[in-house]
Amino acid sequence: MPIVTISRGSYSHGKEVAERVAERLGYECVAREVLLEASQQFNVPEVQLREAIEIAPSAFDPLAHKKRKFVAYIQAALLRKVRGDNVVYHGFAGHFFLRRVPNVVKVRILADLEHRIHIVMARDGVTWGEAAKLIETLDEQRRQWSLSLYGMDPADPSLYDLVLNIKQLTVEGAVELVCKAVALPEFQTTPEAMEVLEDLSLEAEVGIALGELGIDFRVHAERGKVRVEARAPQDKRELVKKEITESLEKIVGIKEMEVEVFPGR
């Protein structure tokens, strides 16, 4: 069966849609559970993991490498959750973490800004301007995080299979459309989809190992073949290449390895 990811702006009914879709389909609905599992497995406080996916790392942030490592922890925990299918995930960045997996129905939930503002005003007892500022800040934080780590804007509709606007369309109508998409043959689990999940899991493991080195890197895995691209000062390129190779030698699942270290900071 397919996996469903629900991406949404703050206060856009995404959680409500996710929970109702999961109930209708008999799926497990997860969000914070992924952070809790990553926290327990990798012995990192949940608040630090949450900061890693809410505040974008910058080039001048001394904790940038640590944040990227924490993101790899979260991705690894999510991939373990979805391997059994039948999951609706409405936590942050599911559409990025699972973007290459064909049996994932990627959904973006939008809501009218005025409606979102009134939700915040009623919940927090703040003014219209304060509520609008809060929503603007939260949305921009998520946008900057996505651009920083993946070079993608979460508002880009091409990232999703369904973009649903909760305005004339009701929450129940959105649930109905998502459930219909889940039943389509295009999103059913196949051996090829499972291979992609294995590749992503391997990439996450590599990312965790390399995160300990405090270097800039990119990793891609395909059917056990892993390619790592990193940057290091000219005089340290060979040393960094050796450290990368040694860090990955014990990872189960790597059949072939290619490491390229380019001149850089």
The enclosing domain of 258 has a CATH number of 3.30.70
Mean pLDDT of all residues in 44-69: 73
Are 137 and 107 in the same domain?
yes
**Residue 92 confidence class, pLDDT cut points 50, 70, 90:** confident
Per residue in 241-258, pLDDT (tens digit) is: 999 999 998 898 899 999
Q: Which residues contact 100 (CB under 8 A, 6 or more apart)?
A: 196, 199, 200
Provide the pLDDT for residue 228: 96
* The total number of structural domains that make up the chain: 2
Provide the pLDDT for residue 63: 56
Whole-prediction pTM:
0.83
Backbone angles phi, psi at 3, to 5 degrees: -110, 145
Are 107 and 232 in the same domain?
no
Are 125 and 213 in the same domain?
no
Are 72 and 110 in the same domain?
yes
Domain of residue 121 covers 3-189
Are 247 and 117 in the same domain?
no
Provide the pLDDT for residue 64: 66
